[in-house]
Amino acid sequence: MAAKTARFQVDSRLARLLSQEYPSTEKALKELVDNAWDADAENVYISLPAPMTDAPIVISDDGSGMTQAELESHYLAIARDRRDHRGERTAGKQRLVKGRKGIGKFAGLMAAGEMTLETRTRGTLSRFTLRMKDLAGVEDIEHLPIQIDTEPCDPESHGTTITLHSLHGELAFPDAARMRQVLIFEYGRAAAFAVYVDKKLLGVDDVAGTFTDQTLDVTGVGPIQLRFTIANERSAQRQAGIVLRVDGKVVGKPSFFGLDEREDFPQKLKTKLYGEIEADGLRDHVTAGWDSVIENSSLLLAITEQVQPILIAAFRERYRKEIQLSQARINRSINDRLAAMPEHRREFANKAVRRVLERFYGDEPGKLEQYVHVLLDAIEHAEYGAVLSHIHDASQKDVVAISAALDEFGIADLAMLVSQAKARMQFLDELEALARNPETREVEMHKAIERNLWILGTTFTFFRSNQTLKRTVEEALGRKYDGAKASDRPDLLLNEDLNGTCLLIEFKRPSHALNHDDYIQAISYRHELSKHMAKPISVLLMGGRRSPDFPVGQREAEVEAFAFFDVIASARRAIDWQLSVKHF
């Protein structure tokens, strides 16, 4: 055995680069796998110790190995980008070089206190050991002596083995499952590069998520093996899709077997699909360059027809709960519309909403609500549905067809307006009957008008109630009107518009005439509520009529009083006017 002392050759970037920290032990070990890739290895074997043992980490490859001279001139040249001296690609397999900073060789010392490197090539084995304590014991790493031992070996033997002893106790032991997840997307489909972690070859099942493994018999192809994982996160995004393996070789790029062409499949979910199909029966349909299957292959079509339903079913099973939760949120905003439908149509609408949620899974909730409401419009109104169908059938470039559809939309819009007007007129009839009944109380008028503020005119159309505002009113009134005063509690409705302005409505029974005391009471409610919210509040009093002592001038700003019968009459005139304008 021969021995020689060498020294590090230091680049000026050393101090900054060696201070780099890896986020995990597994990420540090990946650097050593990158080195094996750059050495044109075909196989890498990673052996990890069981937790709380003294066993080492061993990473071995069958790459080109290094001579003693290469160790001295290249490997011990710290922080030097190897591409500056050897180019962008490896010498043998013309792979794109991964090692860039020149310090990946020392990544093992991020996890262990001692690293031994053995490398074999041209009949010589070279070995040296580096200890973290030795690095810490010198002021200038350039003066640290490195003893390189050499001895003869099998001339056919080549490759490098790195052994890491004395693992750092303050770090978690490397985990085989995490190690595979770190490596799978970069090396799981690499040609002529197999990585084994604790004797298990990297595979589709190493992706964190829901794994499926099925053997299928495809007519004309024979048995195929389908393996895929629906990833928990978007970690599969860069390598998403399913690759074909024929005789062990990857053919072409990953594809989605028609999922990307289906209108009912959420396209955002594609990024979570990672898999492969072994189909040796396709060998006669692979191009000479092994870069794709021949165009219009009937065998590939047969595989697609059997694989696609399996993929769809797996995604629906995986995301059923999320879609159900999304539908529950949507249903809260459309419950009234669904409840008003006949039972058979309601069931159809629920199924249609579910399909929309599946198709647009992952979109913003606001957009989803818009899609759902347009869908319900089409279900509730035959004319509207016909127009949407006409637009859908028209080609994007068929301007004439789309123009005709939009013209028809005007007719449908008019039909919808007429239908809506009839419903509103019926509501006004019932509201007027309620107002004429001397027994009607404030709460009954409140319930009737709360969801129909359109009767007050366009100014009030966009005001909506919500739980937060209801709770604010309840808390304020609960403190002030308790005990013996509870019977005097007023009937208040607090709403908010799109600009954040609030509308406080105090209801009086239709038999009551609004007077000066009512005015004073209403503005006092505004003052009380203003203590609990920093938003402007307009006040509206609603009763049977105005008393002569109700203030006309010198009122506080944003205070109005409406009589029920005046409001109903104005709403009728507005509907008549809308219909006359539309007919014109």
The 10 Å CB-count burial string (b at 16+, else e) for 403-431 is eebeeebeebeeeebeeebeebeebbeeb
Both structure tokens of 10? 């230091």
| For residue 205, pLDDT beyond 70 | yes
Indicate if the pLDDT at residue 436 is higher than 80.
yes
Whether 152 shows a pLDDT value over 80: the answer reads: yes
Same structural domain, 26 and 175: yes
Q: Report yes or no on 348 lying in a domain.
A: no
* CA distances (Å), origin 424, targets 127, 231, 345: 91, 51, 23
Distance from chain centroid for Cα 372: 20
Of the listed ranges 92-96, 340-344, 390-394, 548-552, the least confidently predicted one is 390-394
Listing DSSP states for 281-297 in one string gives: GGGGGB-TTSSSBPTT-
For the segment 262-266, the average pLDDT, to the nearest whole number, is 78
Same domain, 266 and 176: no
Q: How far is CA 466 from CA 306, 458, 534, in A?
A: 49, 20, 17
336-393, pLDDT tens digit by residue?
Answer: 777 777 776 777 777 777 777 777 776 766 777 777 777 777 676 655 555 555 555 5
For the ranges 12-21, 160-169, 206-215, 497-506, which has the lowest average pLDDT? 12-21
5 pLDDT tier (thresholds 50, 70, 90): low
Dist CA 291 CA 243 (whole Å): 11
Q: Which residue has the higher pLDDT, 172 or 285?
A: 285
Listed range (94-103, 196-205, 309-318, 445-454) with the worst mean pLDDT: 94-103
Residue 160: its pLDDT value, please?
A: 96
- Whether 405 is in a domain gets the answer no
Instruction: Please tell me which residue, 172 or 46, carries the higher pLDDT value.
Output: 46
Least Cα distance to 529 among 498, 486, 496 occurs for 496
Give SS3 for 451. Answer: coil
Same domain assignment for residues 164 and 255: no
Same domain, 214 and 180: no
Last residue of a domain, one of 197, 217, 249: 197
* Distance (Å, whole) CA 82 – CA 99: 7
Say yes or no to pLDDT of 4 above 60.
Answer: yes
Residue 247 pLDDT level (bands cut at 50, 70, 90): very high
pLDDT classification of 474: cutoffs 50, 70, 90: confident
Calculate helix-pair angle for 343-359, 298-339, nearest 10 degrees. Answer: 130
In a domain, residue 109? The reply is: yes
All residues at 6 or more sequence positions from 371 whose CB lies less than 8 Å from its CB, including other chains: 356, 360, 363
Range of the domain at 448: 437-576
For the chain, the farthest-separated pair of C-alpha atoms sits apart, in whole angstroms, at 118
DSSP symbol at 558: S
Per the domain annotation, does 99 fall within a domain? yes
Domain identity same for 84 and 171: yes
Instruction: Answer with the residue of higher pLDDT: 474 or 192.
Output: 192
- Rg over CA atoms, the chain: 38
Alpha-carbon separation of residue 235 from 196, 416, 565 (angstroms): 21, 47, 63
Same domain? 240 vs 143? no
pTM for this prediction: 0.57
Residues 92, 15: one domain?
Answer: yes
Mean pLDDT for the stretch of residues 138-151: 76
- The enclosing domain of 189 has a CATH number of 3.30.565.10
Question: Are 516 and 549 contacting, i.e. CB atoms less than 8 angstroms apart?
Answer: yes
Reported residue count of the chain is: 584
Final residue before a domain boundary, out of 286, 308, 330: 308
Q: Which residues pair with 52 in a beta bridge?
A: none
Q: Is residue 276 part of a domain?
A: yes
Whole-angstrom distance, CA of residue 302 vs CA of residue 306 = 7
Q: 14-19: long-range contacts at Cβ-Cβ below 8 A with a sequence spacing of 24 or more?
A: 14/78, 14/79, 14/103, 14/141, 17/78, 17/79, 17/101, 17/102, 17/103, 18/78, 18/79, 18/103, 18/106
Same domain, 62 and 113: yes
How much is the pLDDT for 15? 37
pLDDT band at 53 (very low <50, low <70, confident <90, very high): confident
Q: Range with the lowest mean pLDDT among 20-24, 236-240, 369-373, 578-582?
A: 578-582
Tell which of 176, 197, 218 closes a domain.
197
Q: What's the whole-number average pLDDT of the chain? A: 80
- Number of compact structural domains in the chain: 3
List the Cα angle 141/143/146 in 5-degree steps: 85
Per-residue pLDDT, averaged over 183-193, amounts to 90
The reply to whether 180 and 232 lie within a common domain is no
Spatial contact of 63 and 36, defined as CB atoms under 8 Å apart: yes
Give me the pLDDT at residue 223, please: 96
- What SS3 class is residue 456? helix
CA 416 → CA 247, 388, 409, 421, distances in Å? 62, 14, 10, 8
CATH number at residue 224: 3.30.230
Q: Which two tokens stand for residue 74?
A: 């290249």
In a domain, 406, yes or no: no
473 part of a folded domain? yes
- Whether 322 shows a pLDDT value over 90: the answer reads no
Whether 119 has a pLDDT exceeding 80, the answer reads yes
Please check whether residues 228 and 167 belong to one and the same domain.
no
Q: Is residue 382 part of a domain?
A: no
Q: How many other CB atoms are found less than 10 A from the CB of residue 365? A: 11
Both 241 and 108 in one domain: the answer is no
User: For residue 116, is pLDDT > 90?
Assistant: yes
- Mean pLDDT for 123-152 is 81
pLDDT of residue 308: 94
Closest CA to 514 of 472, 565, 452, 581: 565
**Of the candidates 340, 73, 33, which has an alpha carbon nearest to the alpha carbon of residue 186?**
33
Average pLDDT over residues 253-278: 88
Q: Please indicate, yes or no, whether residues 58 and 163 belong to a single structural domain of this protein.
A: yes
Q: What pLDDT is stored for residue 19 in this prediction?
A: 38
Helix (H) or strand (E) holding 224: strand 222-231
